[in-house]
Amino acid sequence: MDKNLKVLPLIPLRGITVFPYMVLHFDVGRKKSILALEEAMLVDQKIFLTAQKEAKIEEPEEEDIFETGTICNIKQILKLPGDTVRVLVEGETRAVLKECISKDPFFKVEVEILEDGEECSDNKNCEALARTIKDKFDEYIKLSGNIPVETIITLDELNNCGRLADTVSSYLMLKQEKRQEILECYDIEERLKKLLSVLVNEIEILKLERKIGVKVKNKIDKVQKEYYLKEQLKAIQEELGEDDEDKKEMKRYKNKISKAKLPKDVKDKALYELDRLKNTGTYSAEGGVIRTYLDWILDLPWNAQTKDNLEIKSVREILEKEHYGLKDVKDRIIEYLAAKKMSKSLKGPILCLVGPPGVGKTSIAKSIAHALNRNFVRMSLGGVRDEAEIRGHRKTYVGAIPGRIIYGMKQAKSKNPLFLLDEIDKMSGDFRGDPADALLEVLDSEQNSTFRDHYLELDFDLSNVMFITTANTLETVPRPLFDRMEVIEVSGYTSEEKLHICKEHLIPKELEQNGVGDNKIIFSDSAIYKLIDSYTRESGVRSLERRVASIIRKAIAEIMEKGRKNINVTVTKVKSYLGPEIFTYDKVDKEDKVGVVTGMAWTGYGGDTLPVEVSVMPGNGKLQLTGQLGDVMKESAKTGYSYIRANSHKYGIESGFYKNYDVHIHVPEGAVPKDGPSAGVTMVTAMISALNKNKVKHNVAMTGEITLTGRVLPIGGLKEKSLAAYRAGIDTVIIPMENEKDLLKIPKTVKSKLKYILADNIDTVLENAILRDN
């Protein structure tokens, strides 16, 4: 027998091609194959393995198997459960089937062994091909990722090109035909070429796969991530019961919007925002912002309004019942009503109530709202510096909210409330814009029907609102605002007026608040006067109200503790409840003195007397000023001094007095700093008296500004000043001629007790205040 021919048992393989030098195991189940195996084991453990052309054929015939296969060494046989056997084989050499000796009980074939020759060892082509294959295989390993990298090292050691080709082929994941094609290349160079082309092709495919793979993977990753997160969120929401909530919430808003009777543009905006909310979800941060915005829109009174009470009689009754005095304010409201009855479209007036604290500005405003049947809102402008406080912040700001006007309208719950803007004089502008400008727009009846808040970004109609503002002084009210308002002065009260207010309003109010029945606690008039004069010092009645409240509380305690039926609050009771008197008004000196004059001052807290003392001493013409004096008062002292120097001859004063004497002006008393020009005449009178040693009448008080030529200029706060003089026991007051018109506002009780002297020149003042020696 030719040494290249060999008879061997054959196993047809399904889907596997074995290359020489390749180690692999496979399972054998077919009876025929197992018998072939057994035969091989009995002989020399060599077997011929070749692939079936079609893997699915169960009983292959000769023509169903490839002729070229590999002679293998059986290394191991393992019996598996059932009739299967696992075989480990190692490829040895190529062989071609020459003849089928027997088919049964297994294939026995004669094969021709095709061993690789040595012809390739010094063939440069082969060498080059082999190197390229190694490089490419290296690349292939990296791309495929499922072949151990060390494999390449093993290959490096291989000098035999044929073996190299077979080994590399055994590692490649190739289709069966391709593997078979390589196996059938008996010529080494040809095999190398074939392998190289297959390898290059595979690399291309791998690269493409990878490219597509990355893209697809990225896409899948992203989609998957989103999906995953969404699912997770859903699960969390479900867990929290929010998913349902979300839907309910949307429904609730939708219902509210359709029921709210919103103007068209507002409704459109609300629906638009609701749509956005659907996309963001109610529980996201953005969702929170949208919800707040929607709540604002829905809470505002776009259409709701109260019906005005136009019954003049009943309005008057309510106003009178709730407040004593305040005639100007009450009259103005009645006028407004009368005008409104005539013309239906009348806009609300913008009243500005000016006066010291506690005179009832806020509470009369509340009362007006009550009388007119309007809702009442109050907003304090004290300390407002930023325009945004009035007009709101843009929605893009984190935590933005509407301005105070819109805030107030929400509270008002109707579009025609009475809106009280308190302390309009305490507002100030800074770099963030002037709030007064924004307020102008609010108050201007031409513009306020389309007031636009930065946050809402919708027009809101303020034209039906009745605005009332309050201020302590008009000096600091921004001019353009001032021009749009109707000013009503609410000045302080006399003791008699306070007595009325206290008896008719404050005491009943406090009793009611404390749940005390009628006639249980009775105040005597003198006790109330005591409270007014010795326990409070104010133009209004705020402290008085507090004192009354405190007495009532103490009286209640006494009733409870000592089982009294009722308590009469007398002067002694007041003293025992409240302790020693706190204030004593400077009753003016009973004596006429040289260099001592009573002036009258006006402070934010009402009027007060202002004693001025002057002393003259030898010196060299210094003018010294001490006491609680503001700059303006110092200026008027100097003006007065110059006037005296220029006119000394008129008043019997030594002409060179300013060279030989020092003049010291002192304004004692007064924790409250007093300032203002109105002490000019007082200081001049005191200086002249001190210089010419003539006494000043102790019962005269004066006020007025002075010029260098001795003219007396008008002053403000005459009522407050008169009240202070009256309280101090003065009987004559000298006032500037130009203030004559203000006398109308002085209460009759005061006017009947005080003698007013009108002066347009300092001479008139001096004539009436200074006693002549002879």
3 state SS of 593 = strand
Strands (E), 30-84: 46-51, 68-79
Phi, psi for residue 438 in degrees, rounded to 5: -65, -40
- The single residue among 87, 290, 351, 501 that binds ligand ADP, judged by CB under 6 A, is 501
Query: Which residue of the chain is nearest ligand ADP when measured via CB?
Result: 360
CA distance 323 to 504: 9
Residue from 362, 539, 682, 739 in contact with ligand ADP (CB under 6 A): 362
Q: Is 729 annotated as a binding-site member?
A: no
State the number of CA atoms in the 13 A half-sphere of 625 facing the CB. Answer: 14
Closer residue to ligand ADP, CB minimum distance, 603 or 703: 603
Nearest to 36 by CA among 90, 93, 87, 96: 87
Angle of helix 285-299 relative to helix 404-412, nearest 10 degrees, comes to: 60
Q: How far is the CB of 364 from ligand ADP (least distance, A)?
A: 7
CA–CA separation, 380 and 384 (whole Å): 8
- What residues between 538 and 557 interact with ligand ADP by CB under 6 A? 540-542, 545
Known catalytic residue at 741:
no
Q: Assess contact for 166 and 23: CB atoms under 8 A.
A: no
The reply to whether 359 sits near ligand ADP by the rule CB under 6 A is yes
Q: Which stretch binds ligand ADP (CB under 6 A): 322-330, 438-446, 660-668, 740-748?
A: 322-330
Which residue among 296, 324, 577, 726 contacts ligand ADP (CB under 6 A)? 324
- Dist CA 286 CA 752 (whole Å): 71
Strands 700-702 and 596-603: parallel
Nearest to 20 by CA among 68, 60, 53: 68
Cα distances (Å, whole numbers) of residue 462 to 128, 266, 267: 94, 15, 19
Site track for ligand ADP across 442-481, x = CB under 6 A: ----------------------------x-----------
| Catalytic residue from among 136, 498, 530, 721 | 721
Residue 361 binds ligand ADP (CB under 6 A): yes
Told to check if 492 binds ligand ADP by CB under 6 A, we report no
Note whether 291 binds ligand ADP by CB under 6 A.
Answer: no
Considering only 317-325, 331-339, 636-644, 753-761, which stretch makes contact with ligand ADP by CB under 6 A? 317-325
To the nearest whole angstrom, how small is the minimum distance from the Cβ of residue 545 to ligand ADP? 5
Q: How far is the CB of 418 from ligand ADP (least distance, A)?
A: 14
Stretch that binds ligand ADP, among 139-147, 181-189, 321-329, 435-443 (CB under 6 A): 321-329
Count of residues of this chain found to bind ligand ADP when the rule CB under 6 A is applied: 18
What is the spatial distance between Cα 525 and Cα 570, in angstroms, rounded to a whole number? 8
Which window, 319-327, 452-460, 559-567, 635-643, contacts ligand ADP (CB under 6 A)? Answer: 319-327
What gap in Å lies between CA 420 and CA 466, rounded to an integer?
8
Is 357 assigned to a binding site? Answer: yes
Nearer CB in complex with ligand ADP: 194/323: 323
Considering only residues 357, 606, 611, 676, which one is a binding residue for ligand ADP as defined by CB under 6 A?
357
Say if residue 362 carries a ligand binding annotation: yes
Locate tokens 């002084």: which residue?
Answer: 473
CB of 508 to ligand ADP, least distance (A): 10
Contact 667, 627 (CB under 8 A): yes
Name the catalytic one among 534, 678, 689, 722: 678
Beta bridge partners of 73: 46, 90
Residue 472 vs 694, nearer CB to ligand ADP: 472
Active site residue 721: yes
Rg of the Cα atoms in the chain: 56
Contact 35, 105 (CB under 8 A): yes
Cβ–Cβ under 8 Å, residues 669 and 589:
no
Q: Indicate the length of the chain as a whole number.
A: 774
360 sits near ligand ADP (criterion: CB under 6 A): yes
Q: Is 361 labelled as part of a ligand binding site?
A: yes
**Judged by CB under 6 A, does residue 505 bind ligand ADP?**
yes
DSSP 403: -
Residues at the site binding ligand ADP, with contacts judged by CB under 6 A = 323-326, 357-363, 470, 501, 505, 540-542, 545
Q: Enumerate the active-site residues.
A: 678, 721
Q: Which residues are annotated as a binding site?
A: 355-362
